[in-house]
Structure 1
Amino acid sequence: MHMADALLSPAVGGIMLAASAGAVAYSAYKCKDDLDEKKIPLMGVMGAVIFAGQMINFTIPGTGSSGHIGGGILLAALLGPFPAFLTITAVLLIQALFFADGGLLALGANIWNMGFYACLLIYPLVFKPIVKKGLTPTRITVASIVSVVLALSLGAFSVVLETLASGITALPFATFVTLMMPIHLAIGLIEGIVTGGILVFVYKMRPELLESSLENKKLPKDISIQKVLGVLLIFAVVVGGGLSLFASANPDGLEWAMERVAGTTELETSGDVYGNAGEIQEATAILPDYGFKDGDGSAVGTSVSGIVGGGITLLLAGGVGYLIYAVKRKKEKEA
């Protein structure tokens, strides 16, 4: 559900960039107290997991469409809402800059649609209440499915509102929303099941991870998460470097809806803002569309993209967590 720049007017794109920047700043501020230093490596590893996971589009049977995980609920359940939001922001930033996945003008909208609702709204208001009476595999699974469906539905509806506010007449509101909502409901159901499965697996390995996020408490000092980190890192490498080769070739839910409404997934744009954003992205994209710049579409290019992208995201997300923790420690020493 990565929006391209052509879906937004410069005004709407700017507003969404400002809104997401505010949410990022607030999350970084809250992480001063809420970030568990033992989870900083997990921020990096989970960033790599989500980057890799979003490379795999799964087919939605009977529709000709496909979808991929958003990952916000999964991140929030393991990291807490504010570190999760910073991590999904890192994923989307790396995708836009280095892989031309989602536009630069649309970056704020993508962060809001895929991160804000899941991490900062649905996780605390829906996921936590469902499991507050006790973490069990059944509760985790139910909470995951309900939360992902709601978060993805809000994100899909926001895409429609953002295009409406931008005056994209090629995508009339009624028709666009009628297509966007059902297809993302189906995508959400599949992502919810995947999210629940991963969380149940982690819960059985190290239940304290989910408990600490749920209760907003730090992990006990005698708890080690090295085994979980190792398993998740291997998972990210296997998914990004191998399973990504088997991703569905069908258009994702947004592209599918656009094609049925406007007859194309490539809307025409004009103006300096779009041109400048495109030039910047062309210059920074080292592996555009998750492949080499020569456009040969080779499997090697996809695998390299999965490994390189996951590695960069790991460094960025983990580095942000470490920087916040380092600033916190410095202020504590000065005090």
Structure 2
Amino acid sequence: MHMADALITPAVGGVMLAVSAGTIGYSVKKVKEDLDEKKVPLMGVMGAFVFAGQMINFTIPATGSSGHIGGGILLAALLGPYAAFLVLSAVLLIQALFFADGGLLALGCNIINMGFFACFVAYPLLYKPIVKKSFTPKRITLGAISAVIVGLQLGAFSVVLETLISGVTELPFLSFLMLMQPIHLAIGLVEGIATAAVLCFIYQANPVLLDGEADMERSGTMTGKKVLAVLIAVTVFIGGVLSSFASAYPDGLEWSMEGVAGTAELERGGSAYHAAADIQGRTAFLPDYGFKNSDESSALAGTAASGILGGAITLGAAGLAGYFITRSKKKVKCQN
């Protein structure tokens, strides 16, 4: 559900970027107060996991469409909503800058659509009340599926509103809405099941990680460190191998656009659009998750390289962000 720049006006993009920046700033403040430094490695690993997971488009049967995970509920269940929002923002920024996935003008929209509603609406209002502190596989599954579906529905509706406010006449409000909501309901169901599966594995392996604790030594059937090692191995496998077998069908947003406008790629002229495209052209060293000017013979290698490099960059960025935030918290405490 990564929006391209052509779906919004620069004004809408600027407002949403300001809103997302403000939310990021507030999240940093909250993370400074609450984040246990022992959870920093988990931030990095889960960021890489979500990056790799978003590369796997799964087919929605009988639709000719596909979807991918958003990851907001998964991150929030393990990191809390504020750290989760920061990690997902890092994922989306890295995707836009280095892989040209989602527009730079639309970055603020993508952060709000995919991060805000999952982390700050669906997670506290659905997942937490359903799961509470009495973790069971049944509660985790029900909470994850419900929260993912609602978060994705709100995000999809937000996309439609943003195009409406931007005056994108190629996508009439009602027609666009009637395609966006049902297809993202189906995508949300699949993502919810996948999210529940990961959380249930972690619950069985090391339930303290779902309790909000970060002790990497305490264990269920595995220590926290072993859980991280398994997640890293799975991330490498997803990004380096499974990503090459992702569905070729358009994702839910592209499918909806084709159903309404007959195309998934709208064109917009103007200096702001050209400037954003120029920046992406310079920074994206693996555009569309492949080598520049590559042919079919090197396409799989480009996808695998994107999955592994993107995951590594995200792991480093999310981990470093968590490290510097916790370090700044220590300095403040020492000064006081």
**Corresponding residue for residue 303 of structure 1:** 304
- Between stretches 77-86 and 293-302, larger displacement belongs to 293-302
Tell me the amino acid that sits aligned with residue 71 of structure 1: G
**Corresponding residue for residue 294 of structure 1:** 293
Tell me the amino acid that sits aligned with residue 195 of structure 1: T
SS for the counterpart of 2:135 is coil
**Corresponding residue for residue 264 of structure 1:** 263
Corresponding position: 1:38 with 2:38? yes
SS for the counterpart of 1:270 is coil
Alignment of 1:104-119 (within 5 A): 104-119=104-119
Corresponding position: 1:322 with 2:323? yes
Deviation of the 1:219 alpha carbon: 3.5
Gaps in structure 1 of 5+ consecutive residues: 213-217
Matched length? 330
User: What is the CA deviation profile of residues 278-319 of structure 1, one whole-angstrom value per residue up to 9, with x for unaligned ones?
Assistant: 000000001000000013241111000000000000000001
**Residues 114 and 152 of structure 2 are in contact (CA less than 8 Å); yes or no, is this contact kept in structure 1?**
yes
SS for the counterpart of 1:48 is helix
Deviation of the 1:330 alpha carbon: 1.1
Deviation of the 1:221 alpha carbon: 8.0
Tell me the amino acid that sits aligned with residue 87 of structure 2: T
Alignment of 1:43-122 (within 5 A): 43-122=43-122
Tell me the amino acid that sits aligned with residue 239 of structure 1: I
Corresponding position: 1:228 with 2:227? yes
**Residues 133 and 211 of structure 2 are in contact (CA less than 8 Å); yes or no, is this contact kept in structure 1?**
no
Gaps in structure 2 of 5+ consecutive residues: none
User: What is the CA deviation profile of residues 3-24 of structure 1, one whole-angstrom value per residue up to 9, with x for unaligned ones?
Assistant: 0000000111011001100110
Alpha-carbon distance between aligned partners in 2 of 1:324 and 1:282, rounded to the nearest angstrom:
31
User: What is the CA deviation profile of residues 93-149 of structure 1, one whole-angstrom value per residue up to 9, with x for unaligned ones?
Assistant: 000000000000000000000000111221111100001151100000000000000
Alpha-carbon distance between aligned partners in 2 of 1:220 and 1:305, rounded to the nearest angstrom:
32
Tell me the amino acid that sits aligned with residue 77 of structure 1: A
SS for the counterpart of 1:211 is coil
User: What is the CA deviation profile of residues 27-54 of structure 1, one whole-angstrom value per residue up to 9, with x for unaligned ones?
Assistant: 0000011111111001000010000000
**Corresponding residue for residue 9 of structure 2:** 9
Tell me the amino acid that sits aligned with residue 176 of structure 1: F
Alpha-carbon distance between aligned partners in 2 of 1:313 and 1:296, rounded to the nearest angstrom:
27
Tell me the amino acid that sits aligned with residue 196 of structure 2: G
User: What is the CA deviation profile of residues 194-226 of structure 1, one whole-angstrom value per residue up to 9, with x for unaligned ones?
Assistant: 0000000000111011111xxxxx445853511
Tell me the amino acid that sits aligned with residue 254 of structure 1: L
Tell me the amino acid that sits aligned with residue 171 of structure 2: L
Runs of 4+ deviating beyond 6 Å: none
SS for the counterpart of 1:129 is helix
Corresponding position: 1:211 with 2:216? no
Q: Percent sequence identity over matched residues?
A: 64
**Corresponding residue for residue 215 of structure 1:** none
Alpha-carbon distance between aligned partners in 2 of 1:284 and 1:133, rounded to the nearest angstrom:
44
**Corresponding residue for residue 174 of structure 2:** 174
**Residues 2 and 110 of structure 2 are in contact (CA less than 8 Å); yes or no, is this contact kept in structure 1?**
yes
What TM-score do you get using the length of structure 2 for normalisation?
0.97
Alpha-carbon distance between aligned partners in 2 of 1:222 and 1:125, rounded to the nearest angstrom:
31
Alignment of 1:245-264 (within 5 A): 245-264=244-263
Tell me the amino acid that sits aligned with residue 71 of structure 2: G
**Inter-CA distance 57–10: structure 2 relative to 1 (3 Å threshold):** same
**Inter-CA distance 161–333: structure 2 relative to 1 (3 Å threshold):** same
Corresponding position: 1:274 with 2:273? yes
**Residues 217 and 224 of structure 2 are in contact (CA less than 8 Å); yes or no, is this contact kept in structure 1?**
no
Alpha-carbon distance between aligned partners in 1 of 2:211 and 2:295, rounded to the nearest angstrom:
46
- Between stretches 124-133 and 142-151, larger displacement belongs to 124-133
Alpha-carbon distance between aligned partners in 1 of 2:267 and 2:135, rounded to the nearest angstrom:
49
Tell me the amino acid that sits aligned with residue 16 of structure 2: M
Alpha-carbon distance between aligned partners in 1 of 2:255 and 2:305, rounded to the nearest angstrom:
27
User: What is the CA deviation profile of residues 170-203 of structure 1, one whole-angstrom value per residue up to 9, with x for unaligned ones?
Assistant: 0000000000000000000000000000000000
Alpha-carbon distance between aligned partners in 2 of 1:70 and 1:221, rounded to the nearest angstrom:
26
Alpha-carbon distance between aligned partners in 2 of 1:228 and 1:150, rounded to the nearest angstrom:
28
**Corresponding residue for residue 187 of structure 1:** 187
